[in-house]
Amino acid sequence: MTPIDLVDVCAWTGDWNTLSVEGDPETVTQNLRACGVTQIHLASLRTVWGHNLHLGNIDAYVAADQSDVVCPVPLIDPTLATWPEELAKAALHEDVRLVRWLPSYSGYTLDDPRASDCARQVHEAGLSLSIQVRIEDERRQHPRARVPDVSFEEVIAFAQNHPQLPIVIGGAAWRTVLSGAEKMLAGEHIYAETSQMDGVDSLALMVDAGLSSRLLFATHAPLFMPLAGIARILLDLNEADTTALLGGNARRLLDT
């Protein structure tokens, strides 16, 4: 197989409430580079549970300054008054290709008019938008800190209302994505990342459903082991689809 430059569209730095992980940027970057990842889209976990999501973005920016393979992924909360300034900062950074929303953690739904206003400005800034469906499976969450998944149907409806904005569905389960394949394919701007698609033959089934060009490799490191996600792709798919998922699709979306 021809060597592949892996692009990870969802890695994190920071701590998590239910897991003890080595989440400092240097360790995360080193571990992913050892797996062959040559472009790491990194966001911060530090303020996911805080009142101001934007405060953690500095962690991703600093990590990008210290590594030539890290692209910061600023977290944006459309319900905060400071989101326009945060988005403007992201748009000015040459390595930012996408921004991410965490609707369930920030406490809003995608039919909120503020979300639509923010999405329009993300498009005007020339960036892509990642909407995180989940960070942690509800079955593993602390019993006093339950956060439900964002509805896949809600994300699709939102994407249909913003057909010019590239949207990446983050952290969705493979069965959910497979069941919605037809709706994803109805819009050329809708993608899904693979970090939580861990079922047997899951990727092969989605490729068979026509989603090969819409799937983006993501490790969810350090919360997940990166090699497991890579192995699923290498074992389940042919060379052309493997090349597309591990880097080709992401570079086509994010490097233009």
**What are the domain boundaries of the chain?**
6-254
pLDDT band of residue 68 (cuts 50, 70, 90) is very high
Reported as a single tens digit per residue, the pLDDT across 207-228 is: 999 999 999 999 999 999 999 9
**Is 118 within 8 Å of 141 (Cβ atoms)?**
no
What percent of the chain clears pLDDT 70, i.e. is strictly above it?
Answer: 99
Question: What is 6-254's CATH number?
Answer: 3.20.20.140
Confidence at 150, pLDDT banded by 50, 70, 90: very high
Please report the pLDDT score of residue 204 as a whole number: 96
Average pLDDT score, the chain: 96
Task: Please report which confidence band the pLDDT of residue 185 belongs to, taking 50, 70 and 90 as the band edges.
Answer: very high
* Contacts of 47 by beta carbon, 8 Å cutoff, 6+ apart: 53, 54, 55, 56, 75
Backbone angles phi, psi at 156, to 5 degrees: -60, -45
18 dihedral zone (left: phi>0; alpha: psi -120 to 50; beta): alpha
pTM: 0.97
